[in-house]
Amino acid sequence: MSATVESLTARTSGALEAVAVVAGTVEDEWQYVTDLVAAWSARLATVGSARLDEMAPEPVESAVDRVIEEALLVTDPHRAIDWLSTLSQVVLVALDERG
């Protein structure tokens, strides 16, 4: 495996959209879900742009793929809302970035 940091942040943003589909079924929280995805996607895009061509070490790519897998396991919409925040934080920790 070999991936750039930018590709990992893009993968994460894609996963956020998928988790948001589950989370968005909580009707009262639809706007919050939308705002969370926008805020975290923007943060991930900033990191991706700043480290555009940097290759991520293999453990970091494995970490990102595994936490995306974990987030996509969640089927409860309320827990999915929690994971919109958690997924991005775990990826940023793996990339040694601040939230």
Partner 1 sequence: MRFQDAAVDARAVVYAGIQADPLVAEAADLLTDANPAQRVLARAVMNGESTDPAAWRTMFPTLFGGAAEPALRARSEAILRASLRVAERGEAVRSQFRGAIVESLTERLLARRAGPAVRRERRILFDGVRAEIHPYDVTVESATPEAYDCKWGARGINPEVLLQLASARSNAATEGVELVVSLVVFDAHRSCLVRLARLGGAAGGMGLVALETLRGLARPRPAPAPPGGPR
Are 56 and 5 in contact by the 8 Å Cβ rule? The answer is yes
Query: Alpha helices, DSSP H only, in 51-98?
Result: 58-73, 77-94
Residue of the chain from 19, 43, 44, 48 that contacts partner 1 (CB under 8 A): 43
* Residue carrying the six token digits 């991706």: 48
- Tell me: does residue 99 bind partner 1 (CB under 8 A): yes
* Residue carrying the six token digits 């996607």: 41
- Tell me: does residue 96 bind partner 1 (CB under 8 A): yes
Q: Closest approach of Cβ 63 to partner 1, in Å?
A: 5
Query: How far is it, in rounded angstroms, from Cα 91 to Cα 99?
Result: 9
Residue of the chain from 3, 7, 25, 32 that contacts partner 1 (CB under 8 A): 32
Are 12 and 88 in contact by the 8 Å Cβ rule? The answer is yes
CB atoms within 10 A of CB 2: 9
Instruction: Say how many residues touch partner 1, by CB under 8 A.
Output: 34
Which residue, 25 or 89, is less far from partner 1 as judged by CB?
Answer: 89
Residues that bind partner 1 (CB under 8 A): 29, 31-32, 35-36, 39-40, 43, 57, 59-60, 62-63, 66-67, 70, 73-74, 76, 79, 81-86, 88-90, 93-94, 96, 98-99
